[in-house]
Amino acid sequence: MKPFFAHILIMLMLMVMLSSGACTQHRLSPFETPENQSRELLSEIPRPEKPITAAVYSFPDKTGQFRQTQSGQAHYSRAVTQGATALLVNALQQAGRGEWFRVVERDRLDNVMTERRIIRDMRQAAGDSGGNPMPPPKPLLYAGVIFEGSIVGYDTNTVTGGAGSRYLGVGGSTEYRQDVVTVSLRAVSSQTGEVWKNVLVSQRVYSIKFQADAFRFVSTGDILEAEAGITRNKPRMIALQQAIEEAVYMMVMEGTKLNLWSFSDEDDAKAALETYRKSLDRETPPGIDEKMLQEGEP
């Protein structure tokens, strides 16, 4: 019975070690998708002097990167999402709790024009039949600024590392990898075509692997080997969303400094610009976040 109990004991130890790595504090986990710092900064921007009508045509993936498997072979799917245009529109609509930008449809403008033609045809048919004619379609909104850009980089394995230990045949290890996604966002004048401002933002994507294993001689001629592991990945779409939100936040602040637009309250403007200045002065330590490793340490 001793080998059996030893097997059970070691497996319980492995389960405890993995659960301690997986069940980290919920509010501090870097892999969570709820409100993040970039979204909070974006939504807390003070009210503008007047809303800005903006157009978004496309936000393509210019990296050319394909997703890689664990063996290093290229996958047919792209490394990053191809729906970055929707993320940019969402970020613009969230700026200042939706009070900063009025986003007009340009990516699928053909659909809008088709519906307008249908309205005109139905209005003409109603007038020819003697019925009450339908109201004509309103003029399309004119966008004073065009937001353009793309995903310009996705670098894999920019930082790799790990740590582990073993005692009396029982041990655990942690491995991590860091990727970096970079986006470019620029504001273009629709009247002159001048590029008012261009910003570059990078966001890190973490992958962490926790592993526990045991190697024991349970009886003469018998060897017990047990191994368990868990891998946690920060969703690439969330990292890209954070990068786009931070780019919109930076664009609003930089545009204010260039007098392209302004806040409605001068005191709020000073406080917001001071917060922005401090965020630029804050240095991010190189490598992986130590707090993340401490929380997910098996």
Do 128 and 9 sit in the same domain of this protein?
A: no
Do 157 and 258 sit in the same domain of this protein?
A: yes
Q: Which of 15-29, 161-175, 222-236 has the highest mean pLDDT?
A: 161-175
Pairing of strands 52-56, 101-105: parallel
Kindly report which listed range (17-31, 199-213, 280-294) carries the lowest average pLDDT score. Answer: 17-31
Do 49 and 122 sit in the same domain of this protein?
A: no
pLDDT at 148 over 90: yes
Average confidence (pLDDT) over 199-211: 81
Between CA 57 and CA 143 the distance in angstroms is 11
Greater confidence (57 vs 134) lies with 57
pLDDT at 248 over 90: yes
Q: What is the 3 state secondary structure string of 106-142?
A: CCCHHHHHHHHHHHHHHHHHHHHCCCCCCCCCCCCCC
Q: Which of 2-6, 90-94, 134-138 has the highest mean pLDDT?
A: 90-94
Q: How many domains, in total, are found in the chain?
A: 2
Do 55 and 166 sit in the same domain of this protein?
A: yes
Whether 199 contacts 254, CB under 8 Å: yes
CB half-sphere exposure, 174, CA atoms < 13 A: 20
Contacts of 293 (CB under 8 A, 6+ apart): 174, 176, 208
Do 121 and 253 sit in the same domain of this protein?
A: no
Residues of the domain holding 223: 2-106+148-295
Average confidence (pLDDT) over 125-140: 76
**Three-class secondary structure of residue 252 per DSSP:** helix
Do 27 and 124 sit in the same domain of this protein?
A: no
Q: How confident is the model at residue 228 (pLDDT cuts 50, 70, 90)?
A: low
pLDDT at 146 over 80: yes
Average confidence (pLDDT) over 95-103: 92
Do 9 and 76 sit in the same domain of this protein?
A: yes
Cβ neighbours, 10 Å, residue 201: 21
The pLDDT value recorded for residue 293 is: 38
The pLDDT value recorded for residue 93 is: 93
Do 212 and 165 sit in the same domain of this protein?
A: yes
Average confidence (pLDDT) over 128-133: 66
pLDDT at 195 over 90: yes
The pLDDT value recorded for residue 229 is: 63
Nearest residue to 158 (alpha-carbon basis) of 121, 216, 205, 119: 205
Does pTM surpass 0.75?
Answer: no
Do 90 and 118 sit in the same domain of this protein?
A: no
Nearest residue to 92 (alpha-carbon basis) of 59, 141, 56: 56
Helices (H), the chain: 2-22, 37-43, 84-94, 109-128, 236-257, 266-281, 290-295
The pLDDT value recorded for residue 197 is: 93
The pLDDT value recorded for residue 48 is: 93
Q: Give pairs for 194-197: CB < 8 Å, separation 24+.
A: 196/145, 196/255, 196/258, 196/260, 197/251, 197/254, 197/255, 197/258, 197/260
Burial of 92 (0-12, 13-18, 19+ CB in 10 A): buried
The pLDDT value recorded for residue 129 is: 67
Q: Read off the CATH number of the domain in which 10 is found.
A: 3.40.50.10610
The phi and psi torsions of 230 (rounded to 5 degrees) equal: -150, 140
Do 118 and 102 sit in the same domain of this protein?
A: no
Contacts of 87 (CB under 8 A, 6+ apart): 59, 81, 237, 240, 241, 244
**Residue appearing with tokens 């009210």:** 47
Do 193 and 118 sit in the same domain of this protein?
A: no
pLDDT at 100 over 60: yes
User: Average pLDDT, whole number, for the chain?
Assistant: 75
The pLDDT value recorded for residue 232 is: 64
pLDDT at 221 over 90: no
Q: How confident is the model at residue 70 (pLDDT cuts 50, 70, 90)?
A: low
Do 22 and 135 sit in the same domain of this protein?
A: no
Nearest residue to 265 (alpha-carbon basis) of 49, 44, 16: 49
pLDDT at 15 over 80: no
